[in-house]
Amino acid sequence: MDVLDDHVPASQATAALLEVDDLRVGFAAGGREVRAVNGVSFRVSPGRTLAIIGESGSGKTVSCRAVMGLLPAGTVVTGSARLRGTELIGLSDSQLRRHRGADMAMVFQDPARSLNPTMRIGAQITEAVRAHRKVARGEAREQAVELLRRVRIPLPDRRYHEYPHQLSGGMRQRVMIAMALACQPRLLIADEATTALDVTTQAQIMELLLDLQAELNMALIMISHDLGLAASYADEVVVMYAGRIVEQAPARRLFGAQGAVRMRYTRALLDAIPQLGRPAHTLLPVVGGRPPDAAARPPTEPDLAEHVPGHRWACWHPCQNGDGE
Amino acid sequence: MAAPRPEAALPGTGYLPPGPPLLPPVGVSSRRLASQRLGRALRLWIPAGIVLLILATCFLLPQVTSLPSPTNGNILDAGDPPFSPGHWLGTDPVGVDVFSQLVYGGQVAFEIGFGVTGIGIAVGSLLGVTAGYFGGWVDAILSRVLDILIAFPALVLALAIAEGLGPSEVHVIWALSAFSIPAFGRLTRGATLVVRDLPFMVAARLAGTRGWRVIARHVLPNIMPGIVTFSLLGIGVVIILEGALDYLGEGIPPPTASWGAMIASGQTVLTAQPEYVLIPSIVLVIVVAALNMLGDALRERWGVR
Amino acid sequence: MTGARLAGSPALRLVGRRLLAAIVVLWGVTFLTFAVMSALPNDTAQVLLGLHATPAQVAELNKALGLNRPFPVRYWHWLVGLLHGNLGTDLEGASVNSQLAQHLPVTLELLAYALIGSLLLAVIVAVLAARKPNSLADRFSLGVSMLGLSAAPYAFAIFLIVIFAVKLNWFPVQSNSLGSGTLLSFFQQGTLPAASLGFPLFAIYTRLLRADLVEQLQREDYIVTAKAKGLAPWRVLIGHALRNSVFSLITVVGLNLGTLIGAAAIIEALFSVPGIGAELLTAIGNKDVPLIEGVVLVFALVTVLGNLAADLAYAVLDPRIRYGRSTS
């Protein structure tokens, strides 16, 4: 990865692959109108990793699913999401399908539930291969085995015939990645891809993802609630809260020793990470309160503005110095 | 949208003057939801209304007005078309009033339907809940008993009883109960098994609440929705079965009116005058369909699977 | 990999327990039938001899037929005979075995026709309905299936006869040579009775399948994965959702077999089909206990096997149970 000047946002160094502008998602639930995403904008370039961090309900998953077109019927999506210049919002499902899996792919959180339990994993991968390309069965099978090998699954020939429940969690996630890569997408979205795994496997999967990214020069979006993960692997970080981006900066800047965090929220998230250096039994500072009800939002909210080149935040009372006061 | 100037906010209170709305109205919600709710209400009250209307007609109407006899007819009136004076739906080929037959046949159908279902609930639930709650060999034995009853062809039993002891309403109820008891038994056993291991149940048991009390206060209220919705479907099934017996002549003895018997006798003039088969058949379908739809609507409302 | 794993596995023990239970149930049903038939007043001998027979003649015939022995004795004899494969002779002197052999295949063919036909139609309609919930196709399927659940098979049969046999003349009114002709004649004579039997089945299967499919499409994560791969909606519906719905469908089919065979009796009588259902009805009229027992045994066998199959379907078909966990 290139070493970049702190002042130039990493994602703008090369032409952006995905440009999301003012994305808004709303749907009706239980008699009320829920606004899950309220004006989200970001960019990702090939070879770069963007981390979207937030609590459950912050809208991070919904934003990415809106880009992929995987939201249930009856959801209203406005705004713009351009993949290599092609506007995705507003496309019909059959048009979007041509991009899904081919140009942009997604890896999901719980591979136990995200893989069809009654279908052999080999068949699930060849299905992905043949969805977008006219490939004969035998060749699709070879490609699938090759993909399994690429995601570092031992004995791929044998695993090809197995069912998901016969594999461990980490292996299942590798299979999901193999499926996502079947047509060599330009953009890979990993939606909490490592959340359901133990720490060691987590590290392995992340390393795998980054290696594959470098090999294929993919843009990678990692969705997570784990700031530590973002710190280790991301180029740029976007913090979401209640459907909006509240802080956005290169990872180096956010997590650097001088601590340029401006949002109390981000600060609180950082402080909540357990650290080895602290005395035993230190209580972890918890982010107080709950995210606002997405169906009853406060009437005004601060804008997201680039107050310092490369670093944006949305706050009326930002932290004055890096230590959060 | 510009952020309000910080000094406009009252310090320390977090109060901010209202600003412009953030999102244009989504527009999906309120109208669609209102129509969804209307649909749900209609699906419940229309079938309920139909069932109540039919029940009222069958049981209350004869008390209020006098209807022509459902069993004896004047042969001279045979074959009167509907809306003839004194015969709202006309008369059948032997002169018996059609509407009266429907009304009194309905009485029989509902009496048997409610009777069989009631017995099924009472006896079947007792067996089922006991089997489900206590488990072990109690469950093993009771389950086998229920299995045997289910495998036993109720039709055979009904016909055999009718042949041996002569057809009557009471015999039909006995015979069909052999089918409703295990049906409710299985249902309640399954529901009890599900409820038994829920955390609050374990807590109640640990707190020392004794068996029967636990059952009465905790198990029963939770399986009640399932029982009620199943009953509605069950009444429909019983009415159809009872109709089958009447059709074969082995249920309610003629000349007592019953829908099945109407179909059977109408069959003799089927090609010439199909209405004598059609009318009771349509009434049957409406009644059972209304019961089924009511059961479905309640299932929707109460979230029974 | 699988063979060695299966022996001594929980799956085999489950099968064993179920088989044992099934045998108990079969015994119970036959015992109960015998008990009931014996408890009812039995004037078979009287009927056979006619009204003018003297009490002495009746007693004589009773003794000859063995009808005067107490019920446990008679049951024991029957049971012993059963274990030797002999179901006794009916009141007309024919062997019950041969009666069953003659009439049972007809009923089974009819049932197969009804079952397969309704399953196929149900799958097609349910898939079309689940594709777009609350669409016209969906509402239509729900309406038709409600009709199927609410219509009495015998009334529906009459309706079919009037329209298709009498008015349109597409099918014969009676099917008395079903099962003993060509394939064409089988379809000609069997379609109306099979449709009468199959309509309620179709209704149940359609509703079940549609609900299951819709639930999967809305809730299951692997459906989202399938869509994310860019698969066409039909492929998602059939290749993923339908694949997983088959289990519950098979279970219901098995559980329904018992009621199905009971309903067949009336339909057979209506259409004059020479199956065992019709035989049963006449046997009851004649109080022909051995024949009744034989038929009831068959009915119970079908019910029990159906339940057994439903119970075991999961164990056999679900790859999670069949293949277990491998070392990884």
Q: Whole-angstrom Cα distance, residue A80 to residue B70?
A: 74
Q: What is the DSSP letter of A38?
A: E
Gap from A113 CA to chain C (nearest CA, Å): 6
- Tokens standing for residue C72: 């446990």
pLDDT (tens digit, 9 = 90+) per residue, C264-288?
Answer: 888 988 888 888 888 888 888 777 7
- Tokens standing for residue A187: 């953009």
Picking from B26, B32, B33, B36 by the largest number of A CB atoms within 10 A of its own CB, the best residue to mutate is: B26
Residue A292 and residue A58 in contact, taking contact as beta carbons nearer than 8 Å: no
pLDDT score at B81:
73
Q: Whole-angstrom Cα distance, residue C23 to residue C115?
A: 26
Picking from B143, B148, B233 by the largest number of C CB atoms within 10 A of its own CB, the best residue to mutate is: B148
pLDDT (tens digit, 9 = 90+) per residue, C215-227?
Answer: 888 888 999 999 9
Rounded to an integer, the average pLDDT of B144-153 is 86
| Listed range (A169-173, A280-284, B129-133) with the worst mean pLDDT | A280-284
**B79: three-class secondary structure by DSSP:** coil
User: Which among A28, A35, A298 is the nearest to B32, CB-wise?
Assistant: A28
Roughly what angle, to the nearest 10 degrees, separates helices C136-150 and C96-131?
A: 150
Question: Which residues, numbered 163 to 182 in chain B, qualify as contacts with chain C under a Cβ-Cβ cut-off of 8 Å?
Answer: 163-165
How far, CA to CA in Å, does A8 sit from each of A13, A252, C70, C307?
7, 12, 103, 70
Picking from C18, C20, C150 by the largest number of B CB atoms within 10 A of its own CB, the best residue to mutate is: C150
Mean pLDDT of chain A: 81
Q: Whole-angstrom Cα distance, residue B293 to residue B228?
A: 13
User: Which among B147, B160, B281 is the nearest to C25, CB-wise?
Assistant: B147
Other beta carbons within 10 Å of C250: 17
User: Which among A28, A35, A298 is the nearest to B23, CB-wise?
Assistant: A35
Q: Is the pTM of this model over 0.80?
A: yes
User: Which among B154, B164, B284 is the nearest to C155, CB-wise?
Assistant: B284
User: Which among A97, A118, A166 is the nearest to C230, CB-wise?
Assistant: A97
Other beta carbons within 10 Å of B69: 15
**Alpha helices (runs of H) in chain B, residue ranges in sequence order:** 29-55, 61-64, 98-119, 125-134, 136-151, 154-165, 169-196, 199-206, 211-214, 220-248, 259-266, 275-302
Beta carbons of A179 and C239 less than 8 Å apart: no
Gap from C195 CA to chain A (nearest CA, Å): 33
Q: Given a cut of 60, is residue B21 above it in pLDDT?
A: no
Gap from B35 CA to chain C (nearest CA, Å): 13
Beta carbons of B9 and A316 less than 8 Å apart: yes
Burial-class residue B283 by CB neighbours within 10 Å (0-12, 13-18, 19+): middle
Beta carbons of B3 and A35 less than 8 Å apart: no
Beta-strand pair A219-224/A49-54: parallel
User: Which among A114, A171, A182 is the nearest to C221, CB-wise?
Assistant: A114
In chain A, residues with a C-beta closer than 8 Å to the C-beta of C323 are 162-163, 165-166
Residue A206 and residue A233 in contact, taking contact as beta carbons nearer than 8 Å: yes
Mean pLDDT of chain C: 81
Q: Is the peptide bond before A302 cis (omega within 30 degrees of 0)?
A: no
- Burial string for B139-148 (b: 16+ CB within 10 Å, else e) reads beebbbbbbb
Beta carbons of A303 and B25 less than 8 Å apart: no
Q: Whole-angstrom Cα distance, residue C299 to residue C276?
A: 10
Nearest Cα residue in chain A from B3: A302
At residue C300 the predicted structure's pLDDT band, cuts being 50, 70 and 90, is confident
User: Which among C222, C228, C239 is the nearest to A101, CB-wise?
Assistant: C228
Nearest Cα residue in chain B from C155: B281
Give Cα A35 distance to the centre of its chain.
20
Picking from C134, C158, C286 by the largest number of B CB atoms within 10 A of its own CB, the best residue to mutate is: C158
Beta carbons of C162 and B274 less than 8 Å apart: yes
Beta carbons of C239 and A106 less than 8 Å apart: no
Q: Tell whether A106 lies on the interface with C, counting CB pairs under 8 A.
A: yes
Question: Which residues, numbered 121 to 180 in chain A, qualify as contacts with chain C under a Cβ-Cβ cut-off of 8 Å?
Answer: 127-128, 131-132, 162-163, 165-168, 171, 176, 179-180
Beta carbons of B164 and C287 less than 8 Å apart: yes
pLDDT (tens digit, 9 = 90+) per residue, B167-212?
Answer: 788 888 888 888 899 989 988 888 888 887 788 777 877 777 766 7
pLDDT score at A287:
65
Between chain A and chain B, the number of residue pairs with CB atoms below 8 A apart is: 56
In chain A, residues with a C-beta closer than 8 Å to the C-beta of C239 are 127
**A193: three-class secondary structure by DSSP:** coil
The residue whose two tokens read 């046999």 is C165
Q: Which of B37, B3, B5, B44 is nearest to B292 (CA)?
A: B44
**A136: three-class secondary structure by DSSP:** coil
Roughly what angle, to the nearest 10 degrees, separates helices B259-266 and B275-302?
A: 140
Q: Whole-angstrom Cα distance, residue B300 to residue C280?
A: 41
Rounded to an integer, the average pLDDT of A260-269 is 69
Rounded to an integer, the average pLDDT of A11-33 is 76
In chain C, residues with a C-beta closer than 8 Å to the C-beta of A170 are none
Q: Given a cut of 50, is residue B260 above it in pLDDT?
A: yes
In chain B, residues with a C-beta closer than 8 Å to the C-beta of A31 are 29, 33
Nearest Cα residue in chain A from C247: A118
Q: Whole-angstrom Cα distance, residue A194 to residue A203?
A: 8
pLDDT score at A107:
93
Between chain A and chain C, the number of residue pairs with CB atoms below 8 A apart is: 85
At residue B5 the predicted structure's pLDDT band, cuts being 50, 70 and 90, is very low
Rounded to an integer, the average pLDDT of A191-207 is 88
pLDDT (tens digit, 9 = 90+) per residue, C104-116?
Answer: 888 999 999 999 9
Q: Whole-angstrom Cα distance, residue B261 to residue B110?
A: 15
pLDDT score at C205:
92
- Burial string for C194-215 (b: 16+ CB within 10 Å, else e) reads bbbbbbbbbbbbbbbbbbbbbe
Q: Whole-angstrom Cα distance, residue C105 to residue C123?
A: 27
Rounded to an integer, the average pLDDT of B263-279 is 83
Beta carbons of B3 and A302 less than 8 Å apart: yes
Beta-strand pair A32-44/A219-224: unpaired
Q: Whole-angstrom Cα distance, residue A145 to residue B125?
A: 55
Q: Which of A25, A87, A11 is nearest to A57 (CA)?
A: A25
Q: What is the DSSP letter of A166?
A: G
**B161: three-class secondary structure by DSSP:** helix
Q: Tell whether A75 lies on the interface with C, counting CB pairs under 8 A.
A: no
Q: Whole-angstrom Cα distance, residue B242 to residue B106?
A: 11
In chain A, residues with a C-beta closer than 8 Å to the C-beta of C319 are 117-118, 163, 165
Rounded to an integer, the average pLDDT of A169-190 is 92
At residue C124 the predicted structure's pLDDT band, cuts being 50, 70 and 90, is very high
Nearest Cα residue in chain C from B264: C155
Gap from B97 CA to chain C (nearest CA, Å): 21
Q: Given a cut of 90, is residue A199 above it in pLDDT?
A: no
The amino acid at A278: R
Picking from B15, B29, B37 by the largest number of A CB atoms within 10 A of its own CB, the best residue to mutate is: B29
User: Which among A24, A32, A38 is the nearest to B29, CB-wise?
Assistant: A32
User: Which among C222, C231, C328 is the nearest to A168, CB-wise?
Assistant: C328
pLDDT score at A189:
94
Chains with 3 or more CB pairs under 8 A to chain A: B, C
Rounded to an integer, the average pLDDT of A158-169 is 90
